[in-house]
Amino acid sequence: MLNPLRTVQLFLPVKIFSRGIFMNFELSEEHEMVRDVVRKFARSDLAPVAERMDRDDYFPEDMFRKLGSIGMLGITVPTEYDGAGLDYISQTVCLEEIARVSPAFALSVGAHSNLCLDNLYRNGNREQRDAYVPGLATGKLIGCLGLTEPESGSDSLAMRTTATRKGDDYVLSGSKTFITNAPVADICLAYAKTRPDLKNRGISAFVVESSFAGFRKGKKFDKMGMRGSPTGEIYFDDCSVRGGNLLGGENAGVSIVMSGLNVERSVLAGISLGIQTEVLELAIRYAKNRKQFGTPISEFEMIQEKIATMWVDREASRLLIYSALDTLQKGRGRNREAAAAIMYAAEASTRSSLEAIQIMGGNGYMREFNVERLMRDAKLLEIGAGTTEIRKLIIAREALNELN
């Protein structure tokens, strides 16, 4: 089957890779082509199941796996590995468009395609790439990233999971929690301490197959939002992992975590941006049609103030996200830009979805109008991929260090 996202790359590769985005952060023609492809999928295939995903905490696994055929799962992976060969801006646009319809589905796509697959591709050697990247890019395999543990969330590097060398192989012991896609995952990119005595510097990354002896899936969580994106626990009960599945060398874990964080934060912020665009449009449409006191409520200045604030929040988020991605792609990204992008966009998406509910009055509070679902989904982005507080610490630290 023709892979539409790969087709975008085939026709316009030079522009995408050499030009980045314009100074005013209008996205390029190529990125808008990606948006069109993803929007078509989201509106035609995903929209009909979005409400069921939330109501029944249902993950449409077949649909997810099929995304590989239109290039969405391996969007940043080169075409020789069955990816679409596009950039991080394209990946963000992709999540933005999916999130307008189902932030939960976007979260699962982001965890698979960025946190697991892109990370594995960037840090894997030839054998590891050959073994796992095509399967993950085509949807034959579903991936997750296992960093968080019951005792180490924000302080993630204080993990307790260990990996002990046994001959050429490793034995992993410990557990991971709150892992997106864990209940359905075939592959987990997992972090464990190979040298607990070295603390943060003794962490390594492993590609662990769910079929490996000692890999056990724990409970699936019942969440307030992002329902339909399966979140669960993983246990490593003396799990044997081949030495060849060590990613990036022994004790290279911290640099692998750190190398992916800015990309992960900026790309996942696209979910918050998508939510903001959707609730803004829903609120505007509603306000124009709903009449009270004989006039559309959009004529009331207090409603207009809300619309204005939502619009400014959305635009500020968009500029922060795409400017962070642009500098990252040019190799100049700093931690605070990515942290600021997701911090602002995540808080703004919660704010805007609450305002959209207010604009829609009683209807906003009803499930059938969708904004309450988007509000519950929005809140996650203030917690996952590092909390708002941790993001503020990062921003403040760099700002303080800049001026002596």
- Looking at 63, 171, 316, 383, which residue binds ligand FAD (CB under 6 A)? 383
Instruction: Using CB under 6 A, pick the residue from 188, 247, 257, 380 that binds ligand FAD.
Output: 380
Question: What is the end-to-end Cα distance of the chain in Å, rounded?
Answer: 58
Say which of 96, 264, 278, 372 is annotated catalytic: 264
- Establish whether 29 is a catalytic residue: no
Please identify, using beta-carbon distances, which residue of 124 and 386 lies nearer to ligand FAD: 386
Q: Which two tokens stand for residue 105?
A: 């589905």
| Nearest to 230, CA basis, from 126, 347, 104, 103 | 104
Rounded CA-CA distance 34/16 in Å is 11
Q: Which is nearer to ligand FAD, 134 or 386 (CB)?
A: 386
Least Cβ distance, residue 177 to ligand FAD (angstroms): 7
Phi-psi region of 239 (alpha: psi -120 to 50; beta: other; left: phi over 0): beta
What are the start-end ranges of the E strands in 300-375?
none
Stretch that binds ligand FAD, among 19-27, 61-69, 268-276, 379-387 (CB under 6 A): 379-387
Which of the residues 191 through 230 are near ligand FAD (CB under 6 A)? 223, 226
Residue of 327, 358, 390, 398 that binds ligand FAD (CB under 6 A): 390
Q: What is the DSSP string of 96-137?
A: HHHHHH-HHHHHHHHIIIIIIIIHHHHH--HHHHHHHHHHHH
Whole-angstrom CA distances from 178 to 119, 175, 314 are 19, 10, 28
Write out the H or E segment, with its range, that includes residue 346: helix 335-359
Asked whether position 7 contacts ligand FAD by CB under 6 A, the answer is no
Provide Rg for the chain, Cα atoms: 21
Which of 4, 384 has the CB closer to ligand FAD?
A: 384
How many whole angstroms separate alpha carbon 148 and alpha carbon 94?
A: 26
Shortest separation between residue 223's beta carbon and ligand FAD, angstroms: 6
- Least distance in angstroms from the C-beta of 264 to ligand FAD: 10
Is 232 within 8 Å of 78 (Cβ atoms)?
A: no
Considering the complex, what minimum distance in angstroms separates the CB of residue 226 from ligand FAD? 5
Residues 6 or more apart whose Cβ sits within 8 Å of residue 312: none
Q: Which is nearer to ligand FAD, 83 or 228 (CB)?
A: 228
Taking the least distance from each CB to ligand FAD, the nearer of 271 and 282 is: 271
CB of 5 to ligand FAD, least distance (A): 23
234 binds ligand FAD per the rule CB under 6 A: no
Part in contact with ligand FAD (CB under 6 A); list of ranges 201-209, 252-260, 265-273, 382-390: 382-390
387 touches ligand FAD by CB under 6 A = yes
User: Are the C-beta atoms of 286 and 310 separated by less than 8 Å?
Assistant: no
Interaction pattern, residues 313-332, with ligand FAD; x per rule: CB under 6 A:
--------------------
Q: Residue 128: how many CB atoms within 10 A of its CB?
A: 18
Q: Three-state SS for 299? A: helix
Rounded to whole angstroms, the Cα distance separating 163 from 250 reads: 10
Q: Kindly state whether residue 46 participates in binding ligand FAD, applying the rule CB under 6 A.
A: no
Query: Which residues touch 348 (CB under 8 Å, ≥6 apart)?
Result: 272, 276, 313, 314, 316, 317
10 Å CB burial of residue 224 (0-12, 13-18, 19+) is exposed
Give me the least distance between CB of 218 and ligand FAD, in Å please: 14
> Which stretch in 30-38, 124-132, 380-388, 395-403 sits in contact with ligand FAD by CB under 6 A?
380-388
Of 139-178, binders to ligand FAD (CB under 6 A) are 144-148, 153-154, 178
Considering the complex, state which of residue 107 and residue 133 has its C-beta at the smaller distance from ligand FAD. 107
Name the minimum Å distance from CB 208 to ligand FAD: 13
Of 125 and 154, the one with the shorter C-beta distance to ligand FAD is 154
Residue whose C-beta lies closest to ligand FAD: 153
Taking the complex as a whole, the smallest distance from the CB of residue 155 to ligand FAD amounts, in Å, to 6
Residue 231 binds to ligand FAD (criterion: CB under 6 A): yes
Core vs surface per residue 273-303: b (16+ CB within 10 A) or e: bbbbbbbbebbbebbeebeeeeeebbeeeeb
Binding residue for ligand FAD (CB under 6 A) from 75, 111, 268, 395?
Answer: 111
Q: Which residues are catalytic?
A: 264
Site of interaction with ligand FAD (CB under 6 A): 111, 144-148, 153-154, 178-180, 223, 226, 231, 380, 383-387, 389-390, 393
